[in-house]
Amino acid sequence: MSTYVVGDLHGQLPLFENLLEKISFSPQADRLIAAGDVIDRGAKVGELLERLYEGARAGWFLPVAGNHEEAFLQVRDGEDLPFYHDPEFGGTRTIESLNRLGHTRSRTLEGWLRSWPFSWSDSRHIVVHGGLPAVPGSSLGDIDLCATRISPSGSFHECVDLRPPHILPSWDGRLVISGHTIVRKARRRDGIVMVDTGAYRTGRLSAYCLETGRFHSVEGIPC
Ligand SMILES: [Mn+2]
């Protein structure tokens, strides 16, 4: 059995299918975790969500929420987020894509999005979309986990080291895997694995295998 963590998908269903093929993904034997930002920007958001929803029901797909999922749900709840419809943020793509699926399917997927956790972890790994801020009172359910950006200066790593141990006792010794911050090549740096290679604009989608520590990526044309 292999467990893969894939970087920000942003509606890139064709690249996702290529990646599954490249890693010879077995829905019966393997698992795939998305490190957040599955929606927005791409043309196939609705179709991708349907594919992943079926994967979740079948047990092979595990989601982690990103800041784009958070923003979408806030808009759905009536909050005024002008940036959501900015082309760079790409929220309109999600709204249009879900509308095409019809009311019932759209509501089902929205309800599912509301259930996504901010992190996934086992005894050796923690997967979050953004970072793990050392803010007193923060926990693995903290909304900041999906928006904190890893700075090139390495402040994220300092956060890990400086976290209040009584608040996050299970942090120690675990490998952190995150998306959100685009890197040219998926890599492990300072003990942190960064898997977002900006598929929606670079055409490169990457994943990390927890069991082997290997990176896998595909390249194509973003939709
Ligand atoms: Mn993000």
**Does residue 103 belong to any structural domain of this protein?**
yes
161 pLDDT above the threshold of 90: no
The pLDDT value given to residue 189: 74
Say if pTM beats, i.e. exceeds, 0.75.
Answer: yes
CB 159, CB 132: distance < 8 Å? yes
CB 124, CB 32: distance < 8 Å? no
**Does residue 142 belong to any structural domain of this protein?**
no
**Does residue 177 belong to any structural domain of this protein?**
no
Residue type, 99: N
pLDDT band at 126 (very low <50, low <70, confident <90, very high): confident
133 pLDDT above the threshold of 70: no
The Cα-based distances of 172 to 71, 159, 176, 204 in angstroms read 30, 12, 10, 32
Report CA(205)–ligand 1 centroid distance (Å): 15
Mean per-residue pLDDT of the chain: 85
**Does residue 154 belong to any structural domain of this protein?**
no
- Determine phi and psi for 35, rounding to 5 degrees: -85, 40
pLDDT band at 165 (very low <50, low <70, confident <90, very high): very low
Report CA(59)–ligand 1 centroid distance (Å): 25
Structurally, the chain folds into a number of domains equal to 1
In the chain, the percentage of residues whose pLDDT exceeds 70 is 80
**Does residue 128 belong to any structural domain of this protein?**
no
**Does residue 163 belong to any structural domain of this protein?**
no
The pLDDT value given to residue 167: 33
Report CA(97)–ligand 1 centroid distance (Å): 19
The enclosing domain of 201 has a CATH number of: 3.60.21.10
> What burial class does residue 125 get, using C-beta atoms within 10 Å of its C-beta: 0-12 exposed, 13-18 middle, 19+ buried?
middle
Tens digit of each residue's pLDDT (9 = 90 or more) over 179-221: 988 889 999 876 678 899 999 999 999 999 999 999 999 999 9
**Does residue 74 belong to any structural domain of this protein?**
yes
The structure tokens 């904190």 sit at 148
Supply the angle between the helices 45-58 and 103-113 in degrees, to the nearest 10.
60
Structural domain range at position 8: 3-120+182-219
**Does residue 165 belong to any structural domain of this protein?**
no
pLDDT band at 142 (very low <50, low <70, confident <90, very high): low
Report CA(93)–ligand 1 centroid distance (Å): 16
Lowest mean pLDDT among 15-24, 87-96, 116-125: 116-125
Report CA(60)–ligand 1 centroid distance (Å): 23
Lowest mean pLDDT among 42-46, 74-78, 192-196, 211-215: 192-196
